[in-house]
Amino acid sequence: MSDLIANAFGTAAALCSITSFAPQMIKIWKERDASSVSLKTYSLTVTCFVLWVVYGVLTKAWPVAFANAAALIMAAGVLAMKWRFKDGDPEEVEAKA
């Protein structure tokens, strides 16, 4: 397989991994509710991306490191919103109290 074809597949895979978290992030942000997001799943996902980034750095596989770092940022964003909006919008909860 030529390097061009391999790089095209790698780039496509990286873009899919990175953008796959965008719909979930947008939904949580708009609704201010992350109660349906699994804390265990996203915690494991973030852990996996951290491990891939470390692997990429240690082996000097920079495309692996950079792609997984970008996906890590997106997954960590979902995880952070899970903590912030786990019971709905914290500002609305305070206003009701």
Domain ranges of the chain: 3-96
Q: What is the model's pTM?
A: 0.81
pLDDT of res. 29 = 94
Residue 30, beta-bridge partner list: none
Domain 3-96 has CATH 2.60.120.10: no
Give residues with Cβ within 8 angstroms of 75, minimum separation 6.
21, 42, 45, 46, 49
**Per-residue pLDDT at 96 exceeds 80:** no
Report the alpha-carbon distance of residue 21 to residue 1 in Å, rounded: 30
Under 8 Å between Cβ of 74 and 21? yes
pLDDT tens profile 24-35: 999 999 999 999
